[in-house]
A and B are shown apart, each in its own frame.
Chain A
Amino acid sequence: MEVTKLVPFRWPTAWSDPKLLSLLEGSPIGCLVASGSPAGVVEAARKAGLTVLEWNSLGAAPLAKVDWNSAAECLTITDLVWPRVKPVVRDRASSGPTGGPWIDSNTWVARLADARAPGKQIWLAFDPPKEEEPPNEAAYRVAVADAAAVGTRWILSLDEKLSQAVAAGNAEAVKTWRGILATAAFFETRSAWRAYVHQGPLAIISTFAGDNEFMGMELLNLAARRNLQYRIVDRSRMASADLTGLRAALWADADPPAPDVVAKLAAFARGGGLLIVPRTAAHLFKGEGTLDCGVPGYELRTFGRGKVAAATRDWDDPFFLAADAHDLVSRRYDPIRIFNGPSYWTHYSVAPGGNRRLLQLVSFAGASRFPGMGRSNEVTVRFTFRHSSVTLYRLDAAPEALRPAKDGNNIEYQLPEFAVYAALEVKA
């Protein structure tokens, strides 16, 4: 089987007994990533039909140093976070600027990688946090789901305590291990979802590098956090970028676009789109007239059949830029509306052909004590597009058709209890 279709597992260095390969039987794991593992293990693994790759052969690198033109089948990214709600320091909870909990997720990194190397399988390499209480089963399952929800794969990696306990046959540890494998298997059996394209009304355009790295990347992070769905357009691929179907395009970089790009963006706006540009690029899109703008810090100009929102001050805070973009684009065009969702990271994607859409929710809440912040049976979802049916997928339950509930004139779906992850597949 091609490496790109395999689930990778970082074989623990302490697992020197080939018999431990039996732990992988019946699992979706198809590739061992080893670092100097005993020859006996490697040989036995290959005999069992597993692919074995040396860690050093992966060319793993931080996002900024990945060779996007590499011939490697998989691109492995390092220097990532352990996906979770940011840890509490003493008695103080960490929260984001929105007041919701601050969530560490790798999904925006994974999506940026996909935008830079379309079609390549992305592997995410990160380990459980050290020097603190090891993650529990739910935390491991979140780590799997956080990567899989955007079509990437986490190189499964166990903390030392868990790997030792699993090797020793500790029942609780083996249960956790089985839970991790079951979560990975869930996504492998729904591999068609990997072909779904992440969509949204807004295109975020940047080099996401150099002087633009902080603003561009944090914008991706914070826009996703506020459920502003977007497409990523890397400037290096601007010429071939497809802007059809978008409501708005945001040029996030302080340096203004080149003339050919100006022409492309101007055509987008003239065709009816909204173009959001920084102060430094405002002079390139003068437009025909000005309109009242309800978002402070912008001049709204008519531009053909569309508009240009030109910043009147320099952008210095990606949180406010994400909020501004959401206000300028308008939530009217959000494909989904979620209530009680601050502890969830949502992913919206559309099947090729557009007849199916997918909303995935990864829960970072754990055992939240706060109403509306954690209990999954309090989450309500609305879709702002026409649809005929909604099927709910959960990790530990059979798929089920969701029945709509009516709230005034609105159709919405109240989700039943779920742990860690849920997906709603919506048919046109």
Chain B
Amino acid sequence: MTARTHRGEISTRRSLLKNSGLVMAGAALLPRTAWSPEAPSAPVALARCDSYGAGVLPTLKKMFDQIGGIGSLVKGKTVAVKINMTGSPDIRAGVISIERMTFTHPDVIAATVHLLSAAGASRIRILESPSRSAGPLEEFLISAGWDPNDFIRASTGAKVEFENTNFLGFGKKYIRFPVPKGGLLFPAYDLNHSYYDCDVFVSLGKMKEHRTAGITLAIKNCFGIVPCTIYGDNAPVDEPGLVPRGGRMVVHNGNRAIPRLNQAPPIRRRPYFLTKSDEIAASTRMPPTTRMKLLPCAFRSSTAFCGLVGS
């Protein structure tokens, strides 16, 4: 795997493993400032859940308990939940629904909403940046055959809201998130207000293969927070577009990223997906204020949980 990852160049698990040695060697040469912040040392819960449905909620509840509970983190707070909906919502693999393939399963989302609400969250905002779309997120969910009201009903009291973060959305302006230590691709990212106007951020990913990154987990899920009005295909150069005019292939392919990467020679040896996703994720960890906090254990455990169920 090299910094140049082009459309049609698909990373396989074999190539990912093969190249990981080179990656590690290259990474060791990087200056310390190029790395993301230290990995969190909070506890991680893993669980097995044999199927979606009734078993999801008790399993997730137990996992949250195992990491020490989430009440102290979310009580009275606004929680942003970034879900993962990659691909067209009305395309299935044969008759297999999209939530059993690439989308965070609605049972997992509903269970998360329920538990966050039960733990005292005052507002839960379900977020995603569906490719090419500036429509309401609820519409994207409906296209997948879901009912957004299911998530509202899953709450025991917290207000549940939805926002498509692929553009300005309900905000008045984009919020600039500086990347710690200056950044590798960009020194900062301009994001939808939802990633700023929250107290707690949860990445509720979907464990799956990814043609560029090799695998999607919670950090890779954050790749989808960048608005296509700025970072997408056919986006205007000097200012954000009103609506997305394409997907995220520009950033996927590195068309925009490569020139910046070339400015920092060591970066060439760095795996492309780590560069981008770490950087974007890191920017969300360090907003201009300290209002945003990660929920590392919860999102990590839930992501692993998703992967176990989905595999």
Contacts of B163 in A (CB 8 A): 294
CA distance A410 to B144 in the complex (A): 12
Taking a contact as CB atoms under 8 Å apart, the answer to whether B145 and A407 are in contact is: yes
- 21 A-B pairs (CB sep. < 8 Å): A99-B88, A294-B137, A294-B169, A297-B242, A320-B243, A326-B135, A327-B136, A331-B139, A337-B90, A338-B90, A342-B88, A371-B93, A371-B94, A372-B91, A378-B95, A380-B92, A382-B145, A405-B95, A407-B145, A410-B145, A412-B145
Taking a contact as CB atoms under 8 Å apart, the answer to whether B92 and A340 are in contact is: yes
Contact of A372 among B93, B139, B145, B164 (CB under 8 A): B93
Q: Return A278 CB to nearest CB of chain B, in Å.
A: 16
> Is B186 in the interface zone, CB < 8 Å from A?
no
Contacts of A372 in B (CB 8 A): 91-94
Taking a contact as CB atoms under 8 Å apart, the answer to whether A340 and B139 are in contact is: no
> Is A51 in the interface zone, CB < 8 Å from B?
no
Contact with A along B99-136 (1 / 0, CB 8 A): 00000000000000000000000000000000010111
> Is A191 in the interface zone, CB < 8 Å from B?
no
CA distance A135 to B8 in the complex (A): 32
**A294-B164, A297-B242 in contact; A327/B139 too (CB < 8 A)?**
yes
How many chain A residues sit at the interface, stated as a range, is 20 to 34
Which residues of A are in contact with B by a Cβ distance under 8 Å?
99, 292, 294-297, 313, 320, 323, 326-327, 330-332, 337-342, 371-372, 378, 380, 382, 405, 407, 410, 412, 414
Contacts of B136 in A (CB 8 A): 294-295, 327
Majority secondary structure, A binding face: mixed
Taking a contact as CB atoms under 8 Å apart, the answer to whether B97 and A407 are in contact is: yes
CA distance A313 to B132 in the complex (A): 20
Contact of A296 among B139, B143, B145, B168 (CB under 8 A): B168
CA distance A323 to B242 in the complex (A): 14
Contacts of A99 in B (CB 8 A): 88, 132
Contacts of B168 in A (CB 8 A): 296
Q: Return B237 CB to nearest CB of chain A, in Å.
A: 20
Which residues in chain B, 134-156, are within 8 Å of chain A measured between CB atoms?
134-139, 142-143, 145
Contacts of A342 in B (CB 8 A): 88, 91
Closest 4 CB pairs of A and B: A294-B136, A327-B135, A331-B142, A372-B91
**Extra contacts besides A331-B143, A380-B92 (7): CB < 8 Å:** A294-B163, A323-B135, A330-B139, A331-B142, A337-B145, A407-B97, A410-B145
Contacts of B90 in A (CB 8 A): 337-341
Taking a contact as CB atoms under 8 Å apart, the answer to whether B170 and A294 are in contact is: yes
CA distance A399 to B66 in the complex (A): 56
CA distance A292 to B162 in the complex (A): 12
CA distance A331 to B91 in the complex (A): 16
